[in-house]
Amino acid sequence: MSAGRNINTFSQSWGTPRKYVDAVRKFFGGQVDLDPCSNEFSLVNARVEYRLPFADGLKETWNFPTVYVNPPYGIDQQHGTAIKNWLAHCAHAHEAFGSEVLALIPIAANTGHWKKYVFTKARGICFLYDTRLRFLENGVDTGKGAPMACAMVYWGNNFRRFYDVFIEYGAAVDISNLIGEQIGSERNNLRLFQVSNAEEKSIQRGLEDADAGRLKSHSEARAKYEKRSKIAGSCDL
């Protein structure tokens, strides 16, 4: 449950719609262990809830079996944090603790935080069918739709279950082939330093020759090259 969709204004708490809360509970077997950005109107009813100003979800532990996150989408100027910090914690919780993590977030495929923490870390994404997802305002469905498309992102190991539960709500896609990949410009930069297998073997042979003292001096190599050049030249006549 979000502690505020736009955290620059604390007048509203934007909560997950009931149907998605039910889907999250179903996926987790009926119980959510941790909601790190909860509020007093939460429908999630996680076993452990972090709520500002009493507990900062970005400072407390996420070492729980199941975690559901509907993070603030704006910038917290007071604490100097943004949605990228929440997504970093999602990825870290799965990697460090083996947590199964779900997060309801805006689709922002062109951003650095999606490339770094979603595409290369998450197991699956459900692109929700709702064109304007109706978040709850202070626990009430006012009928207003969100101005952006949203997705449910999954960090975990059971994509089959994720698919079976969330295909009802959107296009559930397995992105496990991207885990550990370099995305976008980072991939282009990586190619500058990549070598072929043959080149790598040649470099390794050179290093082994150097260690064994099998290197030729510059003058010896030049004399050998000039000799070959003369032989090649005579064959052309």
- DSSP assignment of 27-63: HTTT---EETT--TT-SS--SEE--TTT--TTTS---
In a domain, 48, yes or no: yes
Residues 114 and 84 occupy one common structural domain: yes
In a domain, 164, yes or no: yes
DSSP-derived 3-state class of residue 69: strand
pLDDT given at position 77: 77
Per the omega criterion (within 30 degrees of 0), is the bond before 65 cis?
no
**pTM attached to this predicted model:** 0.73
In a domain, 169, yes or no: yes
Residues 116 and 211 occupy one common structural domain: no
Quote the domain boundaries for residue 231: 195-235
pLDDT given at position 39: 86
Residues 138 and 211 occupy one common structural domain: no
Other Cβ atoms within 10 Å of 44 Cβ, number:
20
In a domain, 6, yes or no: no
DSSP 8-class letter at 216: P
pLDDT given at position 216: 67
pLDDT given at position 141: 59
Residues 177 and 220 occupy one common structural domain: no
pLDDT averages per 10-residue partition of the chain, 237 residues: 39 78 97 93 93 90 97 80 95 98 95 94 96 68 70 98 98 95 69 57 69 68 59 50
In a domain, 94, yes or no: yes
Distance CA 113, CA 6 (A): 17
Residues 156 and 207 occupy one common structural domain: no
In a domain, 60, yes or no: yes
Residues 157 and 227 occupy one common structural domain: no
Please give the tally of structural domains in the chain: 2
Residues 28 and 92 occupy one common structural domain: yes
In a domain, 162, yes or no: yes
Residues 206 and 90 occupy one common structural domain: no
CA angle 113, 117, 118 (to 5 degrees): 95
Strand partners, 106: 150
What is the CATH number for 74? 3.40.50
Distance CA 111, CA 87 (A): 12
In a domain, 1, yes or no: no
